Structures are given as structure tokens and as C-alpha cells.
Amino acid sequence: MVEPSLFDLIVKGGLVILILAICSLWSVKVIIEKLMVFKGITEKVISEFMNNIYNSLSSDDLKDALFICKTSSWTWFIVKIKSPIINVVKYLIEHYKEPKSELEAGAYTQLDKEIAKMEKGLGVLATLGSISPFIGLFGTVVGIIKSFNALSVNNSSNYTMVMSGIADALIATAAGLVVAVPAVMFYNYFMKRLKLSMPLFDEAIQKTIRHLKILEVRKKHETV
């Protein structure tokens, strides 16, 4: 008896396997996109960017600081990545004359917007991780029902064919798990990375505000 190929099993899985294949491609697309985005919140990237900003602010050079915000990017393979902290710092520099409380509130509002952008698509991974096993299980149950219906109308000599049909049906459950496991793993990974980056964002905002307020005081003294 010739062992069925993976392609044969996928074909026999029918519509359910097609749905899971689409879910798998969707999941891979989101994972790749998020890997690129989340490279911008590593400690190395944030520290490198913020050190350049602090050096410019210490020299009272707001134009240079803004230039750094506009031009800073990092290469990952062939992809250009911009850290979400850039827009937050850019906002602080452009509004540095506002009272500290308003400046701080505006910065955290901008940060919330950047976090929302980073979280976009993660819900897809969570959903696919939750529903894919059930889609696979549905395909398996339907396949088993068909096999037993065939058994009820055929003679006992077809037992082998029926058992083969059940084995083919189980591929749907396996396919569901293949889709679900990476989706859940990467969802948890991204959420953990985002949580761990929050102290870095907070430190960057507070330190930038201190530098800007010191710079503001110096500028006022220069004009007196």
C-alpha cells in the first residue's frame, strides 16, 4: 500500500484544510510584520536613539534633535525600521514650551497611539490561535461521520477503506494545531516584549522632559 503524500492528505481534507491554509498564511503575514515592528523597541535601538537625542539637547540644539527624529532608522535584513519612541520624542521637542504636566500628558497620549499601532494585528494571532483547533476538530468530526456512514451502507470488506478515511479525517485536527501553536506562541511573545518595553518608554519620556525643561530655562536666561 502506497503511503499518501502530504499533498494527498491536504486534498482529502477538503474545505476545512483550505480554510486552515488561509489562516496559516494570514498568521505568517502578521508574524513577519510584527517581527519587523517589534525590532524597533529593543533596548539597544531605544538606547542608541535616546543617547543621540540627549547629546543634542545638552548642546541646546533642538534642530539637530528634530533632524535625528526625522532620519533615524535601523536596518533589519533589508527592511528599514523606525522605533515608535521616535514620534513620542518628536512631539516632546515640538511642544517643549508647554507646562510640564501638559507636556507629560501629551507624550503619554502619543505613546498610547504608538502602542495601539504596535498591537494592531495581534488580535488576529489570538483569534487564530483560539479557533484553529476547533476548525480542525470540525473537519475531523465531519470526516469520521462520512466514514461511518460509508460503513453502514457497505459490507465488512470495506473496513480498511473506512479506517483509512478516518485517518485522513484526523489530518484536519493536526492542521488546526499546526496553525494554532505558532499563533499563540508569537502572540504571547509580542505581548511580553511590549510589556517589557514600557519601562524603557517611560524612562525616555521622563528624561527627555527633564532635558527640555533645563534647555528652556537656559534659553530664557540667554534672552534676559
* Residue 80 bridge partners (DSSP): 75
39 confidence band (pLDDT: 50, 70, 90): confident
Q: Give residue 80's domain range.
A: 15-131+184-215
Q: Give pLDDT, residue 150.
A: 67
User: Taking all residues of the chain, what is their mean pLDDT, rounded to a whole number?
Assistant: 85
Contact between 197 and 41 (Cβ < 8 Å)? yes
Is residue 156 one of the residues assigned to a domain?
no
Long-range contacts of 93-99 (CB under 8 A, 24+ apart): 93/62, 93/65, 93/66, 93/69, 93/208, 93/212, 94/66, 96/62, 96/212, 96/213, 96/215, 96/216, 97/216
Q: Which of 99-103, 114-118, 149-153 has the lowest mean pLDDT?
A: 149-153
1 confidence band (pLDDT: 50, 70, 90): very low
3-state SS assignment for residue 42 = coil
**CB contact set of 54 (below 8 Å; sequence gap of 6+):** 207, 208, 211
- Does position 31 have pLDDT exceeding 90, yes or no? yes
Contact between 112 and 70 (Cβ < 8 Å)? no
In Å, the largest CA–CA distance within the chain is 103
Distance CA 77, CA 41 (A): 16
Is residue 199 one of the residues assigned to a domain?
yes
Q: Give pLDDT, residue 60.
A: 83
CA atoms within 13 A on the CB side of 10: 9
Is residue 152 one of the residues assigned to a domain?
no
Is residue 144 one of the residues assigned to a domain?
no
Domain total for the chain? 1
Average pLDDT, stretch 155-163? 62
Q: Give pLDDT, residue 160.
A: 64
25 confidence band (pLDDT: 50, 70, 90): very high
pTM here? 0.81
Q: Which of 99-108, 111-120, 145-154, 156-165 has the lowest mean pLDDT?
A: 156-165
Is residue 44 one of the residues assigned to a domain?
yes
Is residue 175 one of the residues assigned to a domain?
no
Contact between 91 and 77 (Cβ < 8 Å)? no
Grid coordinates in use for 53?
537625542
139 confidence band (pLDDT: 50, 70, 90): confident
Average pLDDT, stretch 180-205? 94
Is residue 85 one of the residues assigned to a domain?
yes
What DSSP state is assigned to residue 2?
P
Grid coordinates in use for 92?
516632546
Q: Among candidates 200, 217, 210, which has minimal Cα distance to 83?
A: 200
Is residue 140 one of the residues assigned to a domain?
no
